[in-house]
Amino acid sequence: MGLGDIINNAKDTINEGGHKSAAEGEQAKRDVAGDQMSVGDKAKSMLNQTVESAKGETAAAKRDVREETT
């Protein structure tokens, strides 16, 4: 594994953590606000959570593929 791969793996790890934290934040926002959130706000929050989770999984997959091919 070269230096470039190590740097890219580190970036992907950081990105994964950030996206997963954002997804958890959306869940926490809904947990705290509960019924005070409108249906539209809840739907938007759930969509944001899904998008952030997918971005985190993509970063992890990129790192996994890089590690498997070196």
Contact 13, 62 (CB under 8 A): no
Contact 60, 12 (CB under 8 A): yes
What's the confidence (pLDDT) of residue 44?
97
Q: Does the global pTM surpass 0.85?
A: yes
What's the confidence (pLDDT) of residue 36?
96
What's the confidence (pLDDT) of residue 53?
98
What's the confidence (pLDDT) of residue 70?
75
Contact 29, 41 (CB under 8 A): no
What's the confidence (pLDDT) of residue 11?
96
> pLDDT under 70 in the chain at which residues?
none
Structure token digits, residue 15:
């990105």
Structure token digits, residue 35:
């019924």
45: Cβ contacts below 8 Å, ≥ 6 apart: 26, 29, 30, 37
